[in-house]
Amino acid sequence: MRTNRLLAIASSLLLVAGSSSCVAVAVGAGLGFMVSQEFTNNQKLVYRYNLDVEDVWATAQAVMNDICEGPPEVVEFPRTLKGTYMSADVTMTVIAHDHLQTDVTIEAREYGSRSGLTSKRVHELLEERLAQR
């Protein structure tokens, strides 16, 4: 009886955790630098990394230079990059959250509406580069 109750509680917690918009990412397998991610209701992706803001900013600039159809627009304060990737207008913002913690917000607009799939793809490219550092 007690085992069934524990299984029910555990499965309920997994269901709640899986449907939450804020997901804690486990440390290991090369992803220990990413602490959390959030997919907001307005299709913006927000990620927190345990890395220095300057390292993340330099990597974000390199990624946007490589993937954008032309050179991205760079704003130094706040650290923002704007460019076009796969016919979507992509905006990436890099903000220092705390010492050795950096928040990255990625938003992609395709045909006037936000595109979560494009935002995720840009994040995957950024994450690959950060893992190589």
In a domain, 83, yes or no: yes
In a domain, 1, yes or no: no
As for how many domains the chain has, the answer is 1
Q: Please choose, from the candidates 126, 124, 13, the residue with its C-alpha nearest in 3D space to the C-alpha of residue 63.
A: 126
In a domain, 7, yes or no: no
In a domain, 2, yes or no: no
In a domain, 17, yes or no: no
**Which residues on adjacent β-strands are paired with residue 38?**
22, 46
In a domain, 3, yes or no: no
Domain coverage including residue 58: 22-132
Which regions of the chain are under pLDDT 70? 1-43
How far apart, in whole angstroms, are the C-alpha atoms of residue 18 and residue 124? Answer: 20
Whether pTM exceeds 0.75: no
In a domain, 10, yes or no: no
DSSP string, 97-125: EETTEEEEEEEEEETTEE-HHHHHHHHHH
Q: Are 43 and 107 in contact (CB under 8 A)?
A: yes
Task: Give the pLDDT confidence of 3-31 residue by residue, as tens digits.
Answer: 344 334 444 444 444 433 333 333 333 44
For residue 34, what pLDDT is reported? 55
For residue 28, what pLDDT is reported? 35
For residue 3, what pLDDT is reported? 39
What CATH number has the domain bearing residue 63?
Answer: 3.30.310
The set of long-range contacts for 78-85, using a CB threshold of 8 Å and a minimum separation of 24, is: 79/53, 85/118, 85/121, 85/122
Write out the H or E segment, with its range, that includes residue 75: strand 73-75
In a domain, 53, yes or no: yes
